[in-house]
Structure 1
């Protein structure tokens, strides 16, 4: 499975809940020509699945290098750390999600990406393709998934230098969802003097079918944004090229709705009407900007009306929850790159800022497992 000695050795880590998409991901990985992984680590992270490892759909060509390890059901950041500790002694670890499909030339392209990486390159990202339907306008969920194609750093397919991952003590396991854990790692690496590069390999991330309330559940990410601000300061969005979203508008709409109810209960009818009109206007505007780009089917319009009313208070609740939960978090510590002589065409950069952060189980546990 391994390529010639001149190709950088790598392991692949795939956190999975055992979804059907895993089969297609692994089949594409196995079928691609080029140097294969020294190890494939599947972290089975479904809650409550104890005992023997499950029988996952590993292609025959990958079985000799595959290990299946149980996760701790604490989210993808923790699962990736678990997988990285079982990756063995390799210079690179490639993190894949179980719902992506590597391209037909993925392994060859990956080898070229890793070989071209400079000594201070901590990670090499892939180019993510999100296919959208060609016969109709995309739904709200499909448009949200399509945003992955322009994300600056995304662990759906990211190769990370093991040395850099150890310097960062792995992913921050306080991020329990598949949200912001990749941007947090990237900002810590950049602050420590590492470089992040864009690779040439391509990976497809299909837009999965989802139920009506997926957009409401995604509002839990507002608590993760509070954590990002605590860790990286108020300018973290600009450094991470992250959208500012609509949280301020959601708070205003929620406040108007709450005020309308309070005024109505206390007999202030005129004030209740004014606040109610403000809530209705804000909700209608939000619904409209979500409906117009979509397919405008009866189901999509119904979904947008219902979820546009639910999202503002849910987003506000998660923001308040994040403020309370992360009130004691201190600024993060940069993942410092080792001191190396700078290349002739690159002047030494400024010293990285200092700070403190919680350490995960990263380096020591990885050495113990290897």
Structure 2
């Protein structure tokens, strides 16, 4: 194992792949790597771990790598700039391997993952830029899932999630990889896929399966997640207002959060000006909107005392947090320009591509 990319061999097979895993050194990395080592089928030709901690320690990650994978493993520094930048560092350090498979450090590949991946890559046409995986999120069998568990379960239906995503290196090179302005694990995957499609590549569904367990999270995790509203602003700047539909992304409740927060701010202003009736009316609107939000989140859940308390508290905090991050995004990304892609058109033709594989643009 080394902390620099090994020298690249002269050539690789068309279906050769490297695995890139950005990590913050979480304990879940060990389970991910052990599952990868146990998986049947062709091995990756390289495994690149991107240590994205500010105080990256190669020795710590080395201890997590199973013996079967150590000769293939390279550790690179991510620079603590977020998952998009870490993935870019990883695939660029992988050398000239034709396929790059991105995994998160908290997923568990299935026992047949390697064999299924080989089938996914073998079935890729020359213009296939990426192949998705099937993500399983295990939920408690004996009770209703909590709000956080339901949130995580949404990963199972996310269209282009990089928890397990295979990209053709040529496609990554054609569009420049991930946009490093996305500093969180949110929207950077959809943004890249939209550029891949716009450049003339296709994204196909694979058959391999990967489990994404629900990580433990504190009471206020749903409030912290509202930072993603700033990323949604950047997505709109880059890809226009229709990106939601094209990416299959849910629109969320931002319009309602704006209304509820607006009622609260207006009510406070009216109270400060001595307009009691107007203040009371705004307070009523805020209370109704907050109660509706809390109820919508509580009813599908287990309704335990702790869950009900969490829903009540966070339903008060989420709307202003969402609005704050949306406004911050409007300011920070005000100069972002629409993306330009090398196309649309045909991706580079593989020298052995068959004529029937050519599909008109």
TM-score range, shorter chain: over 0.9
Unaligned runs of 5+ in 1: 350-370
Cα distance change of structure 1 residues 345 and 80 upon mapping to structure 2, 3 Å threshold: closer
Counterpart in the other structure of 1:338:
347
- Aligned partner of 1:365 in structure 2 is none
Q: Is the 8 A contact 1:7 1:111 kept in 2?
A: no
Q: Could you tell me which residue of structure 2 aligns to residue 19 of structure 1? A: 26
What SS class does the counterpart of residue 64 from structure 2 fall into? coil
- Going from structure 1 to structure 2, the CA distance change for 1:335 and 1:129 (only over 3 Å counts) comes to farther
The 3 A distance-change label for structure 1 pair 339 and 6 is closer
Superposed CA deviations along residues 229-260 of structure 1, whole A, max 9, x for unmatched, are 00001111010011010000000000000111
Assess if the C-alpha contact under 8 Å between 1:283 and 1:309 holds in 2.
yes
Match of 1:204 among 199, 204, 211: 211
**Residues 31 and 231 from structure 1, CA distance in 2 versus in 1: closer, same or farther, beyond 3 angstroms?**
same
Number of the residue aligned with 2:296:
289
Match of 2:280 in 1: 273
What's the offset of the Cα at 1:47?
A: 2.4
Q: Structure 1 length normalisation: TM-score?
A: 0.90
Cα separation, partners in 2 of 1:8 and 1:323, compared to 1, 3 Å: same
TM-superposition CA deviations, 1:259-318 (whole Å, max 9, x none): 111111110000000000000000000000000000000000000000000000000000
> Residue 68 of structure 1: CA displacement?
1.1
> In structure 2, how many angstroms separate the alpha carbons of the residues matched to 1:130 and 1:111?
23
Shift in Å, 1:70: 1.4
Find the partner of 1:139 among 139, 146, 149.
146
8 Å Cα contact 1:18/1:56 also seen in 2: no
1:14-163 paired onto structure 2 within 5 Å = 14-49=21-56, 54-163=61-170
Q: Are positions 1:237 and 2:244 aligned together? A: yes
Following superposition, the deviation at residue 85 of structure 1 comes to: 1.2
Structure-2 separation of matches of 1:13 and 1:189 = 19
Does structure 1 residue 8 correspond to structure 2 residue 15?
yes
**In the alignment, is residue 250 of structure 1 matched against residue 257 of structure 2?**
yes
Which of 321, 324, 331 is 2:328 aligned to? Answer: 321
Query: How many Å separate the matches in 1 of 2:128 and 2:79?
Result: 30
Q: CA deviation at 1:7?
A: 6.9
| 8 Å CA contact retained: 1:53, 1:69 | no
Match for residue 360 of structure 2? 348
SS of structure 2 residue aligned to 1:124: strand
Structure 2 counterpart of 1:362:
none
**Which runs of 5 or more structure 2 residues have no equivalent in the other structure?**
1-11
Alpha-carbon distance in structure 2 between the residues aligned to 1:345 and 1:10: 22
Distance 2:323 2:211 in 1: 33
